């Protein structure tokens, strides 16, 4: 009896073993082996891309270069002035065109540069020419005359997703070329520079001092961003770094090559983000877009039939995330080119094509009152931003500062530079400006 029961269990056990032992895997196993064999090591990728990342050393202009009196020994001795020392700074750059020697870096790396030296990974050193620089996007373009350069292939920054692996390559603290790794933490970040054109890639890859202007590269070795900034409340890296997407940097580069500057475009509208409350009020299901607040007369938008209340959802068949995204797309588009705007009106989807016209940063300059002479203004997502102030000008003495956001003149709201010019022209006597500065609302009276 016992033997019979044991035999039965042995039979069951053998059956289980036969079921659990894996049989041959005819097709899947070879495919897995091929996939594993074709996966490249990150070290192999970096060996190819790091020669395209360079060190940039900048010797800034000394005060004597800007004031000829500093060159006079008698003047210096009479006023007991100390010897003027030139400031040295370092950053990084990335070669994007080996044939022409073009190198992308940050505007803040080369700002006020008297001399720019580029050192390659193989230790060759060259003096660089500044082709052009754009403060609003923090992008600059250099050019060197050199042979046997290695350029980084450009990737598609619009295809990035949160969680994608990236590496940051640069020259932090003057240590020499260094690589840090991380992931894409967020996309479309803004709010760091109120008058800037922002669409930052956020990453936790360490971007330390000296990394500015370096490369943000995907795991397959393609350039997707130019390292720009970090948030460091304690003075060190806390894993919040930002890079300018290569799509934006490339658009800036093309304009710098053609014009030596960025000639921004406009279509003549003020806009604001499409919020859930606005979407509900407009009875639309879209969750992202830009709501048209006003349309300037005789502008491309007015000629195309856009109206206040329209919700712009796409430009050239690409969805927009909000007003900042739309501002970037239009502002960096080639002046004279045509764009297709897709929008919603009364829950119906429509599209229209319009031509980009030059942004008139100095619109109404002839009508600018004397107390505001020396100030430059720019349209900025439904507001007017003071883009720059000439040092020692009447505007500077009046208390206006670069970065101020003007929202009203003598209590009359203004949303564009053209509206500001008209309001200033109509203003008589004292001028009262409602503005925002550093997140605080101010009331500035200019006599």
Gap between the Cα atoms of 279 and 287, Å rounded: 7
Identify how many contiguous H helices and E strands the chain contains and give both numbers: 12, 27
Structure token pair of residue 270: 């003020």
Q: Alpha-carbon Rg of the chain, whole angstroms? A: 29
Both tokens assigned to 130: 């500044």
Sign of CA dihedral 392, 393, 398, 403: negative
CA 39 to chain CA centroid, nearest Å: 32
Q: Is 107 a catalytic residue?
A: no
Phi/psi at 270 (nearest 5 deg)? -105, 145
Helix (H, G, I), strand (E, B) or coil at 347: coil
- 97, 108, 250, 288: the catalytic one is 108
Q: What is the DSSP string of 366-428?
A: GG--GGGTTEEEEEETTEEEEEEE-TTSHHHHTT--TT-EEEEETTEE--SHHHHHHHHHH--
Among this protein's residues, is 212 annotated catalytic? yes
Give the helix ranges, DSSP H, for 224-379: 246-259, 276-281, 300-304, 323-331
Contact between 126 and 144 (Cβ < 8 Å) = yes
Query: How far is Cα 305 from Cα 312, in angstroms, rounded to an integer?
Result: 13
Instruction: Please give the Cα distance from 80 to 130 (Å, whole number).
Output: 35
Separation in Å, CA 279 to CA 58, 313, 417: 49, 12, 28
**Contact at 8 Å (CB) between 237 and 116?**
no
Query: Considering 212, 270, 323, 398, which one is annotated as catalytic?
Result: 212
CA distance 405 to 426: 20
Catalytic residue, chosen from 134, 138, 204, 325, is 138
- The verdict on whether 299 is a catalytic residue reads no
Give CA separation, 349 vs 323, 329, 417, in Å. 18, 20, 30
Alpha helices per DSSP H over 1-83 = 2-20, 28-38, 42-49, 63-66, 73-78
Taking a C-beta distance cutoff of 8 angstroms, is the pair 333, 356 a contact? yes
Two tokens, residue 382: 């439904």
Cβ–Cβ under 8 Å, residues 130 and 116: yes
Residues identified as active-site: 108, 138, 212
């Amino acid at each position: 009896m016992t033997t019979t029961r044991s035999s039965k269990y042995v039979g069951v056990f053998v059956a289980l073993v036969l079921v659990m032992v894996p049989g041959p895997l005819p097709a899947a196993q070879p495919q897995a082996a091929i996939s594993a064999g074709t996966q490249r090591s990150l070290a192999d990728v970096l060996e190819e891309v790091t020669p395209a990342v360079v060190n940039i050393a900048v010797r800034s202009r000394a005060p004597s270069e800007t004031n000829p009196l500093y060159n006079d020994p008698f003047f210096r001795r009479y006023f007991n002035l100390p010897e003027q020392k030139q400031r040295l700074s370092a950053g990084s750059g990335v070669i994007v065109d080996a044939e022409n020697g073009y190198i992308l870096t940050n505007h803040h790396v080369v700002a006020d540069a008297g001399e720019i030296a580029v050192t390659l990974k193989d230790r060759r050193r060259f003096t660089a020419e500044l082709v052009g620089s754009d403060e609003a996007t923090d992008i600059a373009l250099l050019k060197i005359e050199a042979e046997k350069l290695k350029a980084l292939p450009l990737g598609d920054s619009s295809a990035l997703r949160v969680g994608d692996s990236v590496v940051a390559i640069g020259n932090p603290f003057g240590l020499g070329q260094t690589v840090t790794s991380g992931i894409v933490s967020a996309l479309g970040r803004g709010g760091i520079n109120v008058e800037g054109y922002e669409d930052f890639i956020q990453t936790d890859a360490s971007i330390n001092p000296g990394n500015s202007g370096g490369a943000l590269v995907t795991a397959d070795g393609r350039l997707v961003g130019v390292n720009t900034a970090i948030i460091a409340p304690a003075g060190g890296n806390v894993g919040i770094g930002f890079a300018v997407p290569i799509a934006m940097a490339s658009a800036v580069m093309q304009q710098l090559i053609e014009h030596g500057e960025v000639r921004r475009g406009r279509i003549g509208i003020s806009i604001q983000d499409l919020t859930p409350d606005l979407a509900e009020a407009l009875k639309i299901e879209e969750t992202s877009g830009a709501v048209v607040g006003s349309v300037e007369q005789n502008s491309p938008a007015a000629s195309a039939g856009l109206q206040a209340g329209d919700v712009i959802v796409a430009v050239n068949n690409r969805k927009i995330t909000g007003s900042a995204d739309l501002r970037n797309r239009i502002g960096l588009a080639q002046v004279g080119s045509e764009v297709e705007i897709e929008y919603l009106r009364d829950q119906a989807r429509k599209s229209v094509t319009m031509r980009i016209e030059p942004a008139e940063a100095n619109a109404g300059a002839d009508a600018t009152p004397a107390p505001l002479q020396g100030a430059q203004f720019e349209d900025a997502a439904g507001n007017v931003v003071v883009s720059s102030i000439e040092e020692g000008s009447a505007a500077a003495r009046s208390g206006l500062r670069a970065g101020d956001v003007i929202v009203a003149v003598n209590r009359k709201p203004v949303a564009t530079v053209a509206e500001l010019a008209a309001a200033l022209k109509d203003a008589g006597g004292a001028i009262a400006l409602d503005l925002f500065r550093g997140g605080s609302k101010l009331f500035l009276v200019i006599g």
